[in-house]
Amino acid sequence: MVEPPSFLSAKDVGSFAYLTMKDRTPQILTRAIDTLHRHKSEFFEKHGEEGVEAEKKAISLLSKLRNELQTDKPVVPLVEDCADTDLWNQHLQYQRSLLNESDGQPSWFRSPWLFVECYMYRRLHEAVIQSPPINDFDVFKESKDQNFFESQESIIALCTHLQELLRTIEDLDENQLKNEFFKLLQVSLWGNKCDLSLSGGESSSQKTSVMDSLEDLKPFILVNDMEHLWSLLSKCKKTREEASVDRVYIILDNSGFELVTDLVLADFLLSSKLATEIHFYGKTIPWFVSDTTIRDFNWVIEQMKQCNHKWMSKCGVGWENYIKVGRWVYRDHIFWTLPHDYSAMSQVAPDLYAELQKACLILFKGDLNYRKLTGDRKWDFTVPFHQALRGFHPAPLCSIRTLKAEVQVGLQPGRGEQLTALEPNWLTTGKYGIFQFDGPL
């Protein structure tokens, strides 16, 4: 196997990784501290003095964490005994083993960006779980919920479209079904723009209907493998035996508006019989500000159900029913919040890898999933996606992502350079998107 290129790292001054660790990450920690502080009276009402002491403790641990980051201190082992603690600390040992004597310890600005950015969120979680009785408080919950409420009009437009589509879905010919599938895939792609970690936790809701702008956004899709997805799923549908199961796995990214776009796509996949079951994977702990946890998943469906807009509540009721009858399955696994890239999954989490092998297709939403698929390395733009996956092939898979990090593979020769000349920041603004497929064609 050819030696892969080096990792993206904040030691490259001026890089997006550097700017993230220098500016955005401390900003996210400051916001988490402010959130805890604002909830002080609620903690007091619930838990009395003990709640106030816990809030002080969590804030002090987060302030210490922010200081360590800003002064580029060595990365220290996790102390709280959780299911993933040993795996994290073993990985830290591994990072140490990669350094020469002259390099010193792994630190915030000298280590791989993927490792330290994931580590920051894991340490943030540790600060909260070390502060009972407020140890189940999600510091990002408010901003995730706000994103959902501020995107209400777009959600209504999307639900209305879906319900009208479901009324006539039996009558659609192959071509019409395919067009609808492509439309909802694109909605799910552009839903990925609503990323709260990119905005440092600032509001990033979807104010306008994405449905209306799909044509205008098409030129910004740099890799478009939607045809491969259609031919794979329609082949599954045609060759499906009676009572056999075709599962699509959706590895979720952001809660709020993006999650709704994913649920709409999932509903369409079942209603059009392109799949018979959808398995969603979310995060076990609050992660990268807006990532979906089980609480977010259930909360969004509950909000939809209770909404006084008939199509939105009809979606919520239908989705809850899919869960009840087992056609939608929500799962989580600690691997998704470890620092490993996916080429290590078969070693680190063989149970998860074996589970993913049952899929007829896996959709990986968002930027962090792409960074983990490709190892977050300085690949040339033209390197094939299959090569960048470095042996991760549990089943046919597709990355659906808007670009928010300086890694992109599988482009035509010269395309990356052309984009850089036109827009120096094209890799990190979320303006461009991809449907990048890997699997038998």
DSSP characters for 361-397? EEEEESHHHHHHHHTTB---TTS-HHHHTTT--SS-E
- The two tokens of residue 32 are 């988490």
Predicted local confidence at residue 209, as pLDDT:
75
CA distance 272 to 178: 10
Give me the CATH code for the 141-438 domain, please: 3.40.50.10880
Confidence class for position 210, pLDDT limits 50, 70, 90: confident
- Of 306, 303, 311, nearest to 145 by C-alpha is 303
Confidence class for position 211, pLDDT limits 50, 70, 90: confident
pLDDT (tens digit, 9 = 90+) per residue, 224-270?
999 999 999 999 999 998 889 999 999 999 999 999 999 999 999 99
Segments of the chain assigned to CATH 3.40.50.10880: 141-438
Residue 203 has pLDDT above 60, yes or no: no
Residue 53 has pLDDT above 70, yes or no: yes
Backbone CA torsion sign across 305, 311, 315, 321: positive
Predicted local confidence at residue 342, as pLDDT:
98
Predicted local confidence at residue 319, as pLDDT:
98
Segments of the chain assigned to CATH 1.20.930.60: 16-129
Q: Which run of H or E residues covers position 329?
A: strand 328-332
Confidence class for position 104, pLDDT limits 50, 70, 90: confident
Residue 148 has pLDDT above 60, yes or no: yes
Predicted local confidence at residue 212, as pLDDT:
85
> What is the pLDDT of the chain when averaged over all its residues?
95
Q: Say which residue the tokens 């950015």 belong to.
A: 117
pLDDT (tens digit, 9 = 90+) per residue, 2-12?
789 999 999 99
CA distance 164 to 268: 12
Give me the CATH code for the 16-129 domain, please: 1.20.930.60
CA distance 299 to 237: 32
Residue 102 has pLDDT above 70, yes or no: no
- The two tokens of residue 438 are 């890997």
Q: Where are the beta strands (DSSP E) in 273-342?
A: 277-282, 328-332
Residue 420 has pLDDT above 80, yes or no: yes
Residue 199 has pLDDT above 60, yes or no: no
Q: What are phi and psi of 71, to 5 degrees?
A: -105, 15
Q: List all residues 6 or more positions away from 409 whose beta carbon is below 8 Å from its beta carbon.
A: 374, 379, 380, 381, 382, 383, 384, 385, 387, 388
Task: For residue 424, count other CB atoms closer than 10 A to its CB.
Answer: 9
CA distance 321 to 222: 37
Confidence class for position 101, pLDDT limits 50, 70, 90: low
CA angle, corner 248, sides to 338 and 118, nearest 5?
Answer: 15
User: Which letter does DSSP use for residue 335 in this model?
Assistant: G
